[in-house]
Structure 1
Amino acid sequence: MKVIHTDICPVCGDSELLPYLSCKDYLTTQEVFDICKCSKCGFALTQDFPSENEIGKYYEASAYVSHSDTHKGIINTLYHLVRKIALKSKAKTVIQYAPKKAGMLLDVGSGTGYFLNKMKSKKWIVTGIEKSEQARLYTKQKFDINCQDSGYLYDIPCQTKDVVTMWHVLEHLERLNSVMDRLYGLLKDDGTVVIALPNKESFDAAHYKKYWAAYDVPRHLWHFSPSDFEHLAKRHHFEIVAVKPMYFDAFYISMLSEKNKGTFFASLAGLAKGSLFFLRTLNNKKRSSSLIYILKKK
């Protein structure tokens, strides 16, 4: 299997990447992958991850809810209950920071299309990009929305999008800096980019360490903190105008993390601990399990 070995930090360019954690792929293969951390800026990355052409097998699991839309199990059932609330919150965030009330929106990594459909109902002209053929077919059948394969990102004319969204997607993409450059290019001058990412400096990440479900190796290639992402945004001529917590993620990630640990009644234990992490983030939002970054062109 071809793997990608990283010698230089993609955020700051430093060449000293130190061992940080070894984490297991709990979803599919049970393989162990190493996470390294940049000695200069602190950015972390999965080392020796499968190349883009070979990583597909690591997504082939019915439990991978963003592609399959499965309701199987307590954790996925809770995911769907929360999603209705989360969709409202996502739409509200986009509209709050968008340059207009309705315009051209691109959602990269659109999964099964629920967010696209939500924005379509609010009169936005939506385009989705999704690598999974199964998810693209689901979106077409359920919402009558056509989504494009991942290569379409580089076919879109420059300066044509008012908003680009990436909900827990950037951490999956092999060509991190290339994607950031592309987002800048296709965005209108007054446009907005909305990117949601797991936060490796969250309270739950600190607690669960190698069991933290949001490391999700090898599907998650890059592991951000707020300062990491600020460095990356500046490198690509973006300004972060707001950072918002995704409060519900603490519950979902904690439940999955307890499952990774093999905890008896993992769902209940995860809900209890997720509640504690949620309460702590009320006074320290930048320690939330996931964060939404709102970007504008400088």
Structure 2
Amino acid sequence: MIEYLNTRDYSITQEEFVLMYDEQRELLKTEPQPDNLDPYYQHEEYISHTDNNKTFLEKIYQLVKTIGLSRKRKWLQKFVLENSKVLDVGAGTGSFVAYLRDNDFNAVGVEPSDRARKLASIKGVSLSESIDEIAKQEFDAITLWHVLEHFKDLDREITKLKERLKTGGCLFIAVPNFRSYDAKHYGEYWAAYDVPRHLWHFSRAAIQNIFNKKGFQLMDTKPMLFDSFYIALLSEHYKHGRKRWLSAIWHGLRSNLYGFRTGEYSSLVYILRKRPE
């Protein structure tokens, strides 16, 4: 591995980290990787483990999340039948599981954060702490919306996912793309690096390399167009100490235009089908 970039945890601790480039797999690895990551998640600033809707930024986040629920369901419908069994890994506060249950899917979820699971229970959604807690069964689809980058042991966790997926079933994986325009523009301040919570940073080639070897076929990719604007806004704050809205909108737009030309969007959803052994 070679040194790629020095960055820091701009959102919470200000600790410094190094991103190392794995040339063989074409991905980045955060170094060092803390033994105990819990303190980096147990903070009010970590919005995906809350349903906060007070500040303007929180309202935008919750609005985008709500809009995204319908889009994610449509992606599922294209590849799996309604009433199929779906496992949402890293379910957060349970919004997607609840939405699927209300819209003709048999959905369950996994979420390691006790705080997030308690918020999910208010919605009437009981989430398991880990995949190992779920009764042995195979799913038609498994979804990971910005979760893969958090796995400490990437190989082991992907193997677990494969074991729980039916042959012909689909993985839906959303991750940031460090080859995007906004990643290049903001450099060390790019909010989607989010070290050390994000332990891995993927390119399109990395996803192909990793999952092809694990017995998956890439079926499709989808852009997450809102991500570029939200990430740009946070990146502006990290770089300049304030949320420069016009600049964020401009660079979010440029990122999506760059993605339209090259396929290198700020965040991408990869739809991968499990091949027969």
Q: Is the 8 A contact 1:202 1:289 kept in 2?
A: yes
Aligned residue number for residue 61 of structure 1 = 43
1:1-298 to structure 2, matched below 5 A, reads: 17-51=1-35, 54-98=36-80, 100-141=81-122, 143-150=123-130, 153-156=131-134, 160-284=138-262, 286-298=263-275
Q: What is the CA-CA distance between 1:79 and the residue it aligns to? A: 1.3
Q: What is the CA-CA distance between 1:278 and the residue it aligns to? A: 2.0
Distance 1:275 1:23 in 2: 24
When the two structures are aligned, how many residues end up with a matched partner?
Answer: 275
Opposite residue 146 of structure 1, the aligned amino acid is S
RMSD: 1.5
Please give the TM-score of this superposition, normalised by the length of structure 1: 0.88
Q: Is the 8 A contact 2:25 2:210 kept in 1?
A: no
Identity %: 36
Distance 1:191 1:22 in 2: 39
Opposite residue 294 of structure 1, the aligned amino acid is I
Distance 1:158 1:137 in 2: 24
Distance 1:221 1:140 in 2: 28
Q: What is the CA-CA distance between 1:265 and the residue it aligns to? A: 4.1
158-167 or 168-177, larger mean C-alpha shift: 158-167
Distance 1:42 1:233 in 2: 13
> 1:39 and 1:276, CA in 2 relative to 1: closer, same or farther beyond 3 A?
closer
Distance 1:159 1:236 in 2: 20
Q: What is the CA-CA distance between 1:176 and the residue it aligns to? A: 0.5
Tell me the secondary structure at the aligned position of residue 248 of structure 1: helix
Distance 2:14 2:3 in 1: 20
Q: Deviations over 1:202-235 (max 9, x none)?
A: 1111111111000000000000000011000012
Q: Is the 8 A contact 1:159 1:189 kept in 2?
A: no
Distance 1:271 1:31 in 2: 28
Distance 1:291 1:108 in 2: 17
Q: What is the CA-CA distance between 1:155 and the residue it aligns to? A: 4.3
Please give the TM-score of this superposition, normalised by the length of structure 2: 0.95
Distance 1:297 1:107 in 2: 17
Distance 2:83 2:41 in 1: 33
Tell me the secondary structure at the aligned position of residue 208 of structure 2: helix
Distance 2:210 2:259 in 1: 24
Distance 1:176 1:25 in 2: 21
Distance 2:250 2:169 in 1: 40
Aligned residue number for residue 7 of structure 1 = none
Q: What is the CA-CA distance between 1:159 and the residue it aligns to? A: 5.2
Q: What is the CA-CA distance between 1:158 and the residue it aligns to? A: 5.3
Q: Deviations over 1:252-283 (max 9, x none)?
A: 00001101102544233212221222233233
Which structure 2 segments of 5+ residues have no match? none
